[in-house]
Amino acid sequence: MARIKLTVAYDGTDFSGWQLQPRQRTVQGVVEKAIMKITHAPARVHGSGRTDSGVHAMGQVAHFNCDDHWCSIPWQRALNGHMPKDVRILHSEVVDDDFHARYSARGKVYEYTLWHHSAFCLPQRRRFVWNCGDVDFETMESAAAILLGTHDFAAFQNVGTVVKTTTRTITSISRRPGITEHETIWRFEANGFLKQMVRIIMSCLVACGRGKLSVEELQLILESADRSKAPATAPPQGLSLISVHYP
Among residues 177, 179, 126, the alpha carbon closest in space to that of 187 is found at 177
Q: What DSSP letter does each residue of 62-79 carry, written as one string?
A: EEEEE-GGGTTS-HHHHH
Burial of 152-189, coded b for 16+ CB within 10 Å and e otherwise, reads ebbbbbeeeeeeeeeebebeebeeeebeeebbbbbebb
Q: What are phi and psi of 203, to 5 degrees?
A: -65, -35
DSSP structural state of residue 54: T
Is 52 a residue of the active site? yes
115 and 237 Cβ atoms separated by less than 8 Å: no
Of the residues 11, 52, 98, 226, only one is catalytic, namely 52
* CA dist list (Å): 46 to 128, 232, 247: 25, 30, 18
User: β-strands 56-66, 2-10: how paired?
Assistant: antiparallel
DSSP structural state of residue 195: T
> Cβ-count burial of 198 within 10 angstroms (0-12 exposed, 13-18 middle, 19+ buried)?
buried
Which residues sit opposite 6 in a β-bridge? 62, 92
Positive or negative torsion for Cα 171, 59, 50, 201: positive
The reply, when asked if residue 112 is annotated as ligand binding, is no
| Residues marked as catalytic | 52
> Which residues are annotated binding-site positions for substrate?
110
- Which residues does the annotation place in the binding site? 110
